[in-house]
């Protein structure tokens, strides 16, 4: 497809929390950008991705906070699509003006990220888009705890607790190692599923990895209480996690 514009959008992953986990490529893109786009779930509340990338952002660079409300993809897809379309229009205008824009994403841009929807809109319109990978939260978790995600012939499943219970159960039953994301959406449900499978001693949860309020727990009771939004669980059936 012809690239109709002079400008370019970089979608970059800033990693899960530690600003030292940005790639050199991501930092270079941030440093040379005309515009930094920071998505936020709630206008007025700065995004976590922006906080992580902050040390690399030139104070002179234009900052655009873009609204990505937290709506249910299955129940409110129309509203979300309208918002993504509006956001894509705004980015297209920047690119039509010949600007280089950087869209910040927590972790990796291709893992459960709003960037991926806007990216599709812009690619369909023939815009120049380059995505720069970041460290996903679950890879960071495994490295941080010196725990392999998979070894030898083992499989790895990834599931979000926003998915229907049957899908979560299917992933839990199909793999030896499982990464559970968006835990806070139904942490109690996950605790029950672990107990039912006698996996109480086979999981670890990290909240806010790479941040000042980071917490690591292997206590099932912590899943039954209030769980921070940025929480990921790794389940290892063959070993204690």
59: which residues sit within 8 A by CB, 6+ positions away? none
Would you say 75 or 153 has its CB closer to ligand SAM?
75
Tracing tokens 């370019």 back to the chain, one arrives at 8
Binding-site member from 47, 104, 136, 236 for ligand SAM (CB under 6 A): 136
Judged by CB under 6 A, the chain residues 67 through 86 that form the site for ligand SAM are none
Binding-site member from 9, 11, 12, 16 for ligand SAM (CB under 6 A): 16
The window from 24-32, 94-102, 104-112, 191-199 that contacts ligand SAM (CB under 6 A) reads: 104-112
Neighbours of 147 (CB within 10 A): 15
107 binds ligand SAM (CB under 6 A): yes
| CB 203 within 8 Å of CB 181 | no
**What are residue 44's phi and psi, to 5 degrees?**
95, -15
The window from 81-89, 125-133, 164-172, 200-208 that contacts ligand SAM (CB under 6 A) reads: 200-208
Question: How far is it, in rounded angstroms, from Cα 157 to Cα 150?
Answer: 10
Binding-site member from 41, 125, 182, 237 for ligand SAM (CB under 6 A): 182
The window from 53-61, 69-77, 78-86, 224-232 that contacts ligand SAM (CB under 6 A) reads: 224-232
17 binds ligand SAM (CB under 6 A): yes
**What are residue 100's phi and psi, to 5 degrees?**
-100, 120
36: which residues sit within 8 A by CB, 6+ positions away? 30, 50, 53, 57, 61, 62, 63, 64, 101, 102, 104
Using CB under 6 A as the criterion, what x/- string covers residues 142-181 for binding ligand SAM? ---------------------------------------x
Q: What tokens does 17 get?
A: 């929390």
Tracing tokens 């918002």 back to the chain, one arrives at 83
| CB 103 within 8 Å of CB 80 | no
Number of residues that bind ligand SAM (CB under 6 A): 23
112 binds ligand SAM (CB under 6 A): yes
* Chain CA centroid to CA 3, Å: 28
Binding-site member from 83, 92, 131, 137 for ligand SAM (CB under 6 A): 137
Residue nearest to ligand SAM (CB): 107
Tracing tokens 């530690």 back to the chain, one arrives at 18
40 binds ligand SAM (CB under 6 A): no
Q: What tokens does 29 get?
A: 């893109």
39 binds ligand SAM (CB under 6 A): no
Binding residues for ligand SAM, rule: CB under 6 A, are: 16-17, 105-108, 111-113, 136-137, 181-183, 206-210, 229-232
């Amino acid at each position: 497809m012809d690239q109709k514009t002079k400008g370019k959008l970089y979608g970059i992953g800033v990693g899960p929390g530690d600003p030292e986990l940005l790639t050199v490529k991501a930092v270079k893109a941030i440093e040379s950008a005309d515009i930094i786009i920071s998505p936020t779930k709630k206008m007025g509340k700065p995004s976590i991705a922006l906080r992580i990338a902050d040390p690399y952002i030139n104070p002179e660079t234009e900052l655009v906070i873009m609204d990505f409300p937290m709506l249910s993809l299955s129940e409110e897809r129309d509203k979300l699509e309208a918002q993504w379309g509006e956001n894509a229009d705004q980015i297209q205008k920047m690119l039509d003006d010949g600007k280089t824009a950087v869209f910040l994403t927590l972790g990796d841009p291709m893992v459960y990220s709003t960037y991926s929807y806007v990216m599709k809109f812009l690619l369909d319109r023939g815009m120049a888009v380059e995505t720069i990978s970041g460290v996903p939260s679950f890879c960071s978790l495994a490295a941080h705890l010196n725990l392999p995600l998979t070894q030898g012939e083992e499989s790895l499943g990834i599931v979000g607790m926003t998915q229907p219970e049957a899908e979560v159960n299917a992933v839990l039953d199909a793999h030896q190692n499982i990464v559970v994301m968006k835990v806070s959406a139904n942490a109690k449900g996950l605790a029950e599923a672990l107990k039912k499978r006698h996996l109480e001693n086979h999981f670890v949860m990290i909240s806010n990895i790479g941040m000042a309020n980071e917490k690591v727990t292997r206590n099932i009771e912590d899943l039954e209480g209030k769980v921070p939004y940025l929480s990921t669980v790794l389940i290892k059936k063959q070993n204690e996690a």
